[in-house]
Amino acid sequence: MKARARAAGEDIIDFGMGNPDQPTPAHIVEKLVETVANPKTHRYSNSRGIPGLRKAFSEYYERRFNVSIDPEKEAIVTLGSKEGLANLASAVTSPGDVILVPNPSYPIHQFGFIIAEAAVRNIPVTPDETFFEALELAVQHSVPKPRMIVINYPNNPTAEVVDLAFYERVVDFCRFHEIYVLSDLAYSEIYFDNNPPPSILQVKGAKDIAVEFTSMSKTYSMPGWRIGFGAGNPALIAALTRIKSYLDYGAFTPIQVAAAAALNGPQDCVDDIRALYKDRRDVLIEGLQGAGWDVPSPPATMFAWAPIPPAFKHLGSLEFSKLLLREAQVAVAPGIGFGEHGNDFVRFAFVENKHRSRQAIRSIKSFLDNYDQVIADAEKHRAEVR
């Protein structure tokens, strides 16, 4: 629909995909250009990542989380974290294994394991008591018992965050029940209000059961470069290393050298990226609230998880998104795309600038003002006829 509307000359403001729009910082691009001129870098690279990048990544964990990662045994470079998540799933899963996955979730969390023929059992995302009750029930009622759990905070799509105490409880539970943990920390650096998200690897004993994925895509605006990392449990890292040794030769060496330069170099570019998303968040949330749409302000990630306004809720997220696109020329991601428990929501990604966001808010306001009434009247009429 979006492509058709654009082809017909409509100006669609697109909050649909979490695809960072900012250029990669210049010093990182320069390092790539400088390195690519050296023909030695044109050969096959190293499937688990060049040593310099694994070292730079381990130093990041030390600096940021005070966690020591052995770059030889506990770290791997992946072709974006998505590739690592998917290949780890197929490396460690046998058909019929029970895997606990939140719903809604970033699609590869479910589908990595579905492709590996696992039996996926859904758990809630919201990190409260119901989450731990669901874990207890899953252990009691799953045959065979769960083998792995996926967690992702700051969360895509809900933007929920957790503190270290939550991870401590998860590690305690999973160590006791011998369940591996796959933590996705793709938004480690995209947080607001001075509250950096913790890593599960900060918990004592976490490395016995947990592996964690992080990404360069959002932190350094490098989505197209395809560099991510896995860290943690040496057996899980070894399994991923083994399967990747059959599948790929690693990212192009100049990309890995430039990624190491990003991690080792000045970090003010990360502050700038964070500030940009915060600014956009504030404009969008304030504007949507002013337009009568009560959307909570996310504490982290580049997403707002917006409950469908009550008058439109019965449409479901896909039909509502299509209506918004047709009538307001605004594209959002329907929550159903993240799982059935996402169907009462749509997701806005902060990938349009402030000017375009304000333009979108004006058309959303006029859409809500008009359609709210149209739909309410239609429902009233239907109730009367009944």
Ligand X SMILES: Cc1ncc(COP(=O)(O)O)c(C=O)c1O
Tokens of 275: 């500030």
Q: Which is nearer to ligand X, 230 or 287 (CB)?
A: 230
User: CB of residue 362 vs ligand X: minimum separation in angstroms?
Assistant: 28
Is 255 or 368 the residue whose CB approaches ligand X more closely? 255
Residue nearest to ligand X (CB): 80
Q: Compute the least distance from the CB of residue 10 to ligand X, in Å.
A: 26
Binding site for ligand X (CB under 6 A): 18, 80-82, 106, 152, 156, 184, 186, 215, 217, 223, 228
Smallest distance, Å, CB 81 to ligand X?
A: 3
Distance in Å, CB of 327 to ligand X, minimum: 28
The residue among 246, 269, 243, 248 whose CA lies nearest residue 258 is 269
Nearest to ligand X of 106, 191 (CB atom)? 106
| 25/223 with CB nearer ligand X | 223
Pick the closer one to ligand X by CB: 157 or 254.
Answer: 157
Task: Give the 3-state secondary structure of the chain.
Answer: CHHHHHHCCCCCEECCCCCCCCCCCHHHHHHHHHHHCCHHHHCCCCCCCCHHHHHHHHHHHHHHHCCCCCCCCCEEEECCHHHHHHHHHHHHCCCCCEEEEECCCCHHHHHHHHHCCCEEEEECCCCCHHHHHHHHHHHHHCCCCCCEEEECCCCCCCCCCCCHHHHHHHHHHHHHHCCEEEEECCCCCCECCCCCCCCHHHCCCHHHCEEEEEECCCCCCCHHHCCEEEEECHHHHHHHHHHHHHHCCCCCHHHHHHHHHHHHCCCHHHHHHHHHHHHHHHHHHHHHHHCCCCCCCCCECCEEEEECCHHHHHHHHHHHHHHHHHHHCEECEEHHHHCHHHCCEEEEECCCCHHHHHHHHHHHHHHHHHHHHHHHHHHHHHHHHC
**50/186 with CB nearer ligand X:** 186
Q: Does a cis peptide bond (omega within 30 degrees of 0) precede residue 198?
A: no
Distance, C-alpha 223 to centroid of its chain:
12
In Å, how far are 18, 65, 278, 316, 368 from 288, measured between CA atoms? 19, 35, 15, 19, 10
User: Smaller CB distance to ligand X: residue 162 or 364?
Assistant: 162
CB of 5 to ligand X, least distance (A): 24
Query: Which CB, 106 or 180, lies closer to ligand X?
Result: 106
Residue 286 Cβ, how far from ligand X at the closest point, in Å?
Answer: 24
What is the distance of C-alpha 310 from the center of its chain?
27
Closer residue to ligand X in complex, CB, 109/367: 109
In angstroms, give the least distance from the CB of 83 to ligand X.
7
**How far apart are CB 17 and ligand X at their closest, in Å?**
8
Output the smallest distance, CB 114 to ligand X, in A. Answer: 16
